[in-house]
Structure formats: C-alpha cells, structure tokens
Amino acid sequence: MICRFVLILAVVVLALPVSAQPLSVPSSARQVSSRVSPLDSYALPVAPFDGQAVPARTIEGAVDRQTWRVDGTAATTLQLLAPLRDQIQAAGYTLVFQCRDRECGGFDFRFGTEIVPAPDMHVDIRNYRFLSAVREPDKAVSLLVSRGRNAAYIQIIRVAPPGAADLRVEVDQQALPAEPAPEANSLTARLAQDGHVILKNLDFASGAETLEPGHHDSLAQLAAYLRAHPGQRIALVGHTDSAGSLQNNIELSRRRAGAVRARLLQVHGIAPDRVEAEGMGYLAPVASNLTPEGREANRRVEAILLSDR
C-alpha cells in the first residue's frame, strides 16, 4: 500500500509544471529587443573560428533572442559575464565553450555567428566575451557581452523544446559599479570636453627624453579614463622648447611621447593599440620661448582624444 502511494506521489510530482529558472541581468540593464521563434534552429558555437567557419552544433526548438543595454557602468565584460555564467551553471547547464575577442577569432567569429542586428546589439570586435552551454538533450543557451564607448551590451539566445519551462531572464536588484563622474576641472573632464589635455608633472629637462621613475598622477588619471572607456584611443604628442633645429626637436618630442606611452603600457596595463605617440617639436608653443618659464611650459606631452575604435 505504501509503495503504491509513493508511486502515485511520484507520478503527480512529475506531472506538475516546472517553473522556469531565473537568469538575472543587472538592475541597470534595459531590454532593447526580444525576438521569439516558436520553432526554429540555432547554430550554437562550440569552438573558435577555425580559419574557415565557426564550428557549431545545430539545435532545434523554440528560440528566444534577447538583447540588453547597460548604461553608465564601469564594469568590464568579465564583470558582466561572470554572474550570468554562474547562474547558467547553477541551472544545470554544462559549459561547452567560452572565449574572449581575439581567442574567439575576433572579426571572423563575430561575423560567423548569429548576432542580433544593430542598433539592438553592438559588438566591439576588440572587447567582447562569449560562452555557450547545453542542458541535455535539447536545451542550449549562448551569452555574448561587449562594451562600447558609452554602454555595455548583453545578448542572450535560449533554445528549448516548444512549451518547455527553461531559463527566464529577469532584472536583478544588484547594481553594477557605476562609472565615476569626473570633477568639473579634472584632467579627464577636460579631455572629454576639449578633446585634448596637457599631462602635468611630466617635466623634461632641455634636451632630455627620459621620464623619471615614480608615480605620475596625470598618467594614473589617464589610465583610469581609458579603462572606463574601452572603446576610445588617444595620441600622445610631445612638444619642446625652441633650442636646436626643428628636425632634432621633432625627433626629441616623439621620443618623449614614446616614453610616456611606454609608461602607460608597462605600469598601467593599457593595450598598445589604444595609444599612439607623435612629436611636434617647437611648432605649437603654449608660452614664449624667450623666458625660462615659457621654455619649461613648452616642454610638455599632451593627450589627444581620437575617434572610437
């Protein structure tokens, strides 16, 4: 009798509808698009671009494609992806493949896999992360996270049998780290407003090209700005006083800018393709070269904001 009751109870439990498990995006995320196909097929990437195509596993079912935009955050792509990855695994999914920009195949991977068209989804080919996961036998999810100049984007594609309960995307109450607002007259505020700024406390003696070791606050601020705006590039432009020939001063000013660039790369970890170094010699003075104070002011390095990558 007891066995029969246990069997009936088990059948009842199995017959109850299983609620979908939540997959929470940050509270600052705003849904941009949702496209649901009741019955479709999805090519789930399972490996990086192999030189010919992106290896994929085709899965059929109800396909739900959603994109989300996150404004005003300083979060990296990993900070955005990691909590979602943990939730996907907690829901019983097994990770099949994960990669970041160049490891994925860069441009070739981005254009070899399914991406919701712009402007609903933006992918910076130098700054994105991807993962795919499956829950046997017929459920799958892929996650693509990228950052642009002013916002981050999240794409979630889910596949499950029609009518089956699965992951549901909802907004979490946990806020992401906000992008700090620059002080009105700070180095980064002037760079954003004017498009260029003089890097203070990078003094060069007349004829010298070596940047002294130690902490330089202006470089720390510039590096923080670049980390908070991963889509932006800068040019460092060296300037000299008027002592010596124009050609020698152009070469000297270029080497000074190169020394500052090397410090940004080596000490602050800025990617090489985000910083250029050039020299103007004495062609763009900010003060008179007739006084010692003026000549000292003219020996400088400026940061110039370039277009987005």
CATH number at residue 208: 3.30.1330.60
Give the integer Cα–Cα distance in Å for 257 and 251: 10
CA dihedral 109, 114, 119, 121 (to 10 degrees): -70
Residue 39 has pLDDT above 60, yes or no: yes
Residue 7 has pLDDT above 60, yes or no: no
The separation between the first and the last C-alpha atoms of the chain, rounded to the nearest angstrom, is: 72
Tell whether 111 and 247 lie within a shared domain: no
Whole-number pLDDT of residue 225: 87
pLDDT digits (tens, 9 = 90+) for 150-207: 789 999 999 999 988 677 777 765 555 555 555 556 888 888 888 999 998 886 666 7
Tell whether 153 and 218 lie within a shared domain: no
Whether residue 3 lies inside any domain: the answer is no
Give the integer Cα–Cα distance in Å for 285 and 231: 30
Whole-number pLDDT of residue 16: 36
Residue 6 has pLDDT above 70, yes or no: no
Higher pLDDT: 69 or 27? It is 69
Tell whether 205 and 281 lie within a shared domain: yes
Whether residue 155 lies inside any domain: the answer is yes
Tell which residue, 239, 200, 206, 203, has the closest CA to residue 222: 200
DSSP 272: G
Domain that holds residue 36: 22-171
Give the integer Cα–Cα distance in Å for 263 and 258: 9
pTM: 0.57
Structural domains counted in the chain = 2
Tell whether 202 and 144 lie within a shared domain: no
Tokens 């720390």 -> residue: 220
Residue 231 has pLDDT above 70, yes or no: yes
Higher pLDDT: 54 or 2? It is 54
Tell whether 149 and 197 lie within a shared domain: no
Confidence of residue 216 (pLDDT cuts 50, 70, 90): confident
Tell whether 49 and 100 lie within a shared domain: yes
Mean pLDDT of 52-72: 94
State the DSSP H helix or E strand holding residue 1, giving kind and residue range, or none if neither: none
CA-to-CA dists, residue 149 to 95, 232, 290, 299, angstroms:
29, 6, 42, 31
Whether residue 243 lies inside any domain: the answer is yes
Residue 267 corresponds to which tokens in the numbers above?
A: 């000490």
Confidence of residue 71 (pLDDT cuts 50, 70, 90): confident
pLDDT digits (tens, 9 = 90+) for 251-267: 999 999 999 999 898 88
Tell whether 37 and 158 lie within a shared domain: yes
